[in-house]
Amino acid sequence: MGRENTVLLIIWMYFLSLSSSFSTTIAPTVETSAFIGNITTNSTDWMMDFSDIESKFALRTIEEPEEDLCYIAPGQQDTIKECNFNPDTKTFIVIHGWTVTGMYESWVSKLVTALYEREPTANVIVVDWLDRAQQHYPTSAAYTKPVGRDVAKFVNWLQAELEYPWEKLHFLGYSLGAHVAGIAGLLTKNKVSRITGMDPAGPSFEYADAQSTLSPDDAQFVDVLHTNTRGSPDRSIGIQRPVGHVDIYPNGGTFQPGCDLQNTMMMVATSGLRNMDQIVKCSHERSIHLFIDSLVNMKQQSMAYRCSSKETFNKGVCLSCRKNRCNKVGYEVNKVRSRRSSKMYTKTREMMPYKVFHYQVKVHFFSNSKISYTDQPMKISLYGYSGEKENIPYIMPALKTNTTISFLLTTDVDIGELLMVKLLWEKDTILSWPWWNPDTFHIRKLRVKSGETQSRVIFIAKEGEFAYLTRGGEASMFVKDKEAQSSHKNKRLHKLKMHGSSFKNTAIDA
């Protein structure tokens, strides 16, 4: 126990050191101030001056995704051919974030590999701004503006040299790199097709203006994954506010499965403190791996749903695909641009493939006496044509007489069309023995909605009018009500929403 406390103390001290770095306000440097001046003037002379560019642009290959073997240098046309840039296909520009070590992190090569796996003929260019990114955090954060200017100059030059189509350019930025991408998108002569922000950095950017951060104005379409927004505004590692056309908050956006204390302790025990930065960034970096997952697991695309808050989403009431209320997560996101940012939520597993299936379960509880409980442990089992998932744990926040409760249930198993549901109320203390006259609820039916298929199914008690749910007793069993089959209209509506006019790539939601 002493060893565990020591490790916890070290981890806590590391967090404090990061927090103190993050909380420092960015002081305007001479370089930053000059840059702001360039933005506000009408002069475009700075676009053609490549002498002050410090960032490097490496065109990586499918054969060597880990190495920067060839650099395309703005102003040097020969380097375009030397690096075998393909002008007839799309181009991904990958922009890393703040780094403690001053070296590329392992995710860079993984993302490059996944992009080439999905788009073998594409150009994948990695922006190297490591020298500026390894500074004290506030300094590196201030450097996002000159680095964004470097990227804009590079893209403007490349497009002019090759008459390269703007619609083939896709920026992918992580952490501080997401804001670099936004600034670059702001400064390009025309809007690039897409910017994907992977958990854009929060400290010093939460309250910054649109010219200093990623924003919907920076590209034709901006999609954002928020995975580490825990903490007070401007102190959370990832930015909390929406900054895109579509902002997705996996698992609420605050914390990701598999990044808990138990896994942290295991990593420390096996690899020591040298990987402490990876431990801290587990949820932060999950944004990248969710995007990689969408590239390589094409048949297991995660879905996200528009909702007002994570608390409302956890009640299961937001699993609708009407009027662009649902979308794919990652590479195949449908490019729906609305006047307001769409906040969307999804649940995931703790490892790749991350996809889970979402269900809203709605149930009304009756009883002969007035009963009221909080935080009750339940286990729900789902059985379908394609598979089954038993004993899914769920803590019922409130459970009382004559109340309808709706909650979100997820499973990593594709069970297909639902046929049967079991509901078990566990005993949470040794005093909950059945022969001590335990409390019992009566349940007439369950209503279950699938987020992925949009089907609605009513389940009735397997035997009799009611099923009986007893604390610490046997599971209640419910079977599909054949007289209340999900309508053909719902299935047709889902097909229309997923493949019809509402999901055209350039849709505008009025």
- The amino acid that residue 78 corresponds to is D
- pLDDT for res 24: 45
Give the pLDDT mean for 58-75.
96
175 in catalytic set: yes
Instruction: Pick from 150-164, 462-476, 482-496 the range whose average pLDDT is largest.
Output: 150-164
3-class DSSP state for residue 338?
Answer: strand
61 or 27: which carries more pLDDT confidence? 61
338 is catalytic: no
> For residue 57, what pLDDT is reported?
98
Q: Check residue 433 and report its DSSP letter.
A: -
Give yes or no for residue 122 having a pLDDT over 80. Answer: yes
From the candidates 128, 140, 193, 199, give the one annotated as an active-site residue: 199
Indicate where the chain has its CATH 3.40.50.1820 domain(s).
Answer: 48-346
pLDDT tens digit string along 336-347? 888 788 899 999
Lowest mean pLDDT of 20-29, 173-182, 314-323, 434-443, name the range: 20-29
Q: What is the mean pLDDT of the chain?
A: 86
Angle between helices 176-187 and 144-162 (to 10 degrees): 50
Residue with more model confidence, 428 or 510: 428
Q: Does domain 48-346 have CATH number 3.40.50.720?
A: no
Give the confidence band of 269 by pLDDT, cuts at 50, 70, 90.
Answer: low
The pLDDT of 363-385, averaged and rounded, is 92
- Tell me how far apart the alpha carbons of residues 28 and 26 are, in angstroms, rounded to a whole number: 6
Furthest C-alpha separation in the chain: 85
CA-based nearest residue to 97, from 132, 124, 65: 132
The whole-number pLDDT of residue 355 equals 98
Domain with CATH 2.60.60.20 in the chain: 357-488
pLDDT tens digit sequence for 74-113: 999 999 999 999 999 999 999 999 998 889 999 999 999 9
- What fold is seen in the domain 357-488? Lipoxygenase-1 (2.60.60)
> For 145-180, how does the pLDDT look when each residue is reduced to its tens digit (9 = 90+)?
999 999 999 999 999 999 999 999 999 999 999 999
Instruction: State the pLDDT at residue 47.
Output: 73
Catalytic residue among 284, 289, 358, 494: 284
Judged against a pLDDT cut of 80, whether residue 37 lies above it is answered with: no
Is 289 designated active site?
Answer: no
Question: Using CA atoms, how far apart are residues 373 and 390, in angstroms rounded to an integer?
Answer: 24
11 backbone dihedrals φ, ψ, rounded to 5°: -60, -45
Query: Of the listed 140, 175, 342, 486, which one is catalytic?
Result: 175
User: Dihedral of CA 70/74/79/83: which sign?
Assistant: positive
pLDDT value, residue 104: 94
At 272, is the pLDDT very low, low, confident or very high (cuts 50, 70, 90)?
Answer: low
Looking at residue 143, what is its pLDDT? 98
Position with higher pLDDT, 505 vs 411 = 411
Please compute the mean of the pLDDT values over residues 425-429 and round it to a whole number.
79
What's the whole-number mean pLDDT along residues 114-129?
98
Is there a binding annotation on residue 234?
Answer: no
Question: Is residue 402 classed as helix, strand or coil in its secondary structure?
Answer: coil
Q: Give pLDDT, residue 341.
A: 82
| pLDDT value of residue 469 | 93
